[in-house]
Amino acid sequence: MTSSACGDGGRRRFWRRHLRLPACFFSAALIAVIAGHLDLQIADAVFFDREADVWIGAQTWWAVDLIHTGGALFIRLVGIAAIATLALSFWLPAWRHFRRGAAYLALGLILVPTVVATLKQLTNVDCPWDLERYGGDRPYVALLDDRPDDLPRARCFPGSHASSGFALMAGYFLLLGRRPLQARQALAAAILIGTVFSIGQQARGAHFLSHDLTSAAIAWFTLLALWRLLLAPAAEAVQPQVVQGDREWKEIGKDSDGVVLAEGEVQKQQQASRNAHVPERRGHCRPAVSR
């Protein structure tokens, strides 16, 4: 098997897992939400108190002060830290290796909310708190329905606050090639933060489920595209090689997705393979770089 074939297979697996499968998931989820009218059902059942005629998170410390105001401050601090690291990398030689990652994180935290904010100006979708159903003065118009021209302009889709939380999925792409376990942990943490931001906004009546689900999709695909532009070229600088027999894996290689692995991860994967008693075949394609 040639090194080119190994690299092509790894790239196909990577894009299947990170592009095609997420696209199928988000598409199916949005179709289910729209077809099942889940926006209204969830808002009615969970977030709007019909007896008190009020959103359960309206004017509350946990939804307004903690999740909305505090959450926005937290994202700003992460962004400032990334920008500061990027700036210092030009003055401190020891920080130079942080430059690309800091640039990626800073751009991700800026670009994702910017894309969502731009779409909010174009989509013309109402916030739940503006609807007659929830004490407002506007009729409900389904997400894909034609909105009457006499209604005021609306700017509530997708959800911008949730998008800033989901933008932290940038940490997954930063760690993906060097620390796979930590990358998955970073992804889980970012999804959790984005979900909390979404719940806080839905509890206030600012957004429906479909608004925040769309924000998550925009964040994922924007960060994936940014990874391809900024981080993937560095990862592709190391190519897999064909090795014979049981030669030791050398200083750096790639995982099954074709993503760069540091020496420690390579050795761990080799040891795991040996522990599982997986036989090695001569001529098998394994990543290696000569010493």
Given this model, what pLDDT does residue 236 score? 59
Beta-bridge mates of residue 260: 254
Q: How far is Cα 285 from Cα 264, in angstroms, rounded to an integer?
A: 19
| 2 half-sphere exposure, CB direction, 13 A CA radius | 3
Given this model, what pLDDT does residue 251 score? 37
DSSP state of 138: B
Helix (H) or strand (E) segment spanning residue 261: strand 260-261
Given this model, what pLDDT does residue 161 score? 97
Given this model, what pLDDT does residue 233 score? 80
Q: How far is CA 266 from the centre of its chain?
A: 26
Given this model, what pLDDT does residue 288 score? 40
Burial code (b: 16+ CB inside 10 Å, e: under 16) for 176-187 equals bbbbbeebeebb
pTM of the model: 0.80
What are the pLDDT tens digits along the chain (291 aa)? 444 444 567 789 999 999 999 999 999 999 999 999 999 999 999 999 999 999 999 999 999 999 999 999 999 999 999 999 999 999 999 999 999 999 999 999 999 999 999 999 999 999 999 999 999 999 999 888 889 989 999 999 999 999 999 999 999 999 998 899 999 999 999 999 999 999 999 999 999 999 999 999 999 999 999 999 999 886 655 444 333 333 333 334 444 344 444 444 445 555 554 554 444 444 444 444 333
Given this model, what pLDDT does residue 177 score? 81
Per DSSP, the residues of 82-132 read HHHHHHHTTT-GGGGGGHHHHHHHHHHHHHHHHHHHHHHHHH----GGGBG
